[in-house]
Structure 1
Amino acid sequence: MQLSINYGTKTIYFDVIYRKRKTMAITVEAPDKVTAIVPVGMKEETIKKKVMTKADWIVKKLYEFKNVKHIPLKKEFVNGESFMYMGRNYSLQIELDDSLQVPEVKLFRGKFIISTPTKDEEALKNAMEKWYREKAKEKINERVEYYQYKIGKKPAKVTVKEQKKRWGSCSSKGNINLNWKLIMAPSPVIDYIVVHEMAHLVHLNHSKEFWNLVESILPDYKERRKWLRNNGVRMGL
């Protein structure tokens, strides 16, 4: 179901998804998709009123998506902001807890929850990044181990780190670097980057033989690569 509200001179169209939950969550995705995930039975007028309370934030996010094409968008660490993990979007919930020394992050019942003694944005961002990096390291090492038997070669070293302009790289020494932000992508897309870099252990170039090797392992690699090109802008903090 799709509804709309008028906010100033703008009309905000949004999809409504009913689920068994107690509260409503709103997500905004590139390029212009707005979704309200609401409790079963919530009336349309109530949904519209609640969306209206977030209208300013929604318009701001839509403007950012419209004007920023290739630079990762900066996230706001406020309740309701949307964060990606393994290809799905989860809304953020911040819970103040003075008993803690530093913010703690968990994914629980379809939400990212940060329990924190502070509202400092940098502290919240650092906590989220730490969580992402840990999950990325676990997932990427698992996939590298899986594909090394299909590639027929094992990397000398695998490092998960920040990479401003690349999703991965492979050196002539057989060292593979992979971007921790990959953990925001769906599993098939993570696999594509892992296979891509591991294929460089055999062909340290982008020759026909290289792409033939990638395709022999992932026949649909072009679709996976396309997803990354279209959605990479959303994978950031």
Structure 2
Amino acid sequence: MDVKIVRHKRRKRAAFYVTPNGIELRIPARLSKRVVDRILEEHVLWIRDTLQNLPQQTSILEHGLVLHGEIYPIRKDKGVTLRHDGTTFLVPQTWDDATLWQQYELWLRERALDYVVNRAPAYEKRLGVRAVNIRIGHQQTRWGSCSSKGTISINVRLMLAPKKIMDYVIAHEWTHLVHFDHSASFWNTCRTIYPEVDFAKAWLKQNGHALQFKKTD
């Protein structure tokens, strides 16, 4: 059965996720194999139907690349790097799919850092705080994090979402510099700098699983 089992230390219960690469069963780190096997057996029909309905693996060139919620076509040319001209992603003729996926993520990481650095000052001014350090990560279960020392990490996969969704996560993590919890005070403060909190949370809950970089063999 083609289901990837992913263990997470912080996960409290098992859940299935449909990704561009197939189906993942994300489980607590110490969940026994017996319980995992039972979960798979109980959902065997759903797994079989879902796998059958997944799109066939094809070249990335046929689908395009995503930036801020929009899909852009890919065109190969004589350049040596990945570029985006506003309407099309341009890639070197010699790149295969694996190279393109790798360079695409690196390209997004650079732009993600620029985006966060440019957006943060507006929130910092309103909150009266400042991050000590900003990082771009590729977490599987968290969209962002804020350490007790003031380091904020934003997930690069948010570059695949509309800008206003990424803005929500930035506002959320910067609010943690004021309230290091998820108390009522935290949410009230967060809404003062980002009023559409409920919309963004619902969007991520419904669409977050699709914000993935497809892996190549």
Q: Indicate the TM-score class for this superposition, using the shorter chain for normalisation.
A: 0.5 to 0.7
CA contact (8 A) 2:77 2:90 kept: no
CA contact (8 A) 2:83 2:90 kept: yes
How do 1:1-237 residues align onto structure 2 when only pairs under 5 Å count?
A: 63-64=53-54, 77-93=59-75, 95=76, 97=78, 104-108=81-85, 110-119=87-96, 121-237=97-213
Q: 1:109 to 1:203 in 2, by over 3 A?
A: closer
> Normalising by structure 1, what TM-score?
0.62
CA separation in 1, counterparts of 2:52 and 2:67? 21
> Normalising by structure 2, what TM-score?
0.68
CA separation in 1, counterparts of 2:66 and 2:205? 16
Instruction: Tell me the percent identity.
Output: 28
Alignment partner, residue 44 of structure 2: none
CA separation in 2, counterparts of 1:166 and 1:190? 13
Mark the runs of 5 or more structure 2 residues left unpaired by the alignment. 1-19, 21-49
Q: Deviations over 1:128-169 (max 9, x none)?
A: 111111111110111112211012100111111221211100
SS at match of 1:79: helix
CA separation in 1, counterparts of 2:86 and 2:118? 25
RMSD of the alignment, in Å? 2.6
CA separation in 2, counterparts of 1:75 and 1:137? 31
Q: Deviations over 1:190-236 (max 9, x none)?
A: 11000100111111110000000011112211112222222222222
CA contact (8 A) 1:156 1:175 kept: yes
Judging by fraction of residues, say which structure has more strand: 1
Mark the runs of 5 or more structure 1 residues left unpaired by the alignment. 1-29, 31-59, 66-73
- Larger-gyration structure (1/2): 1
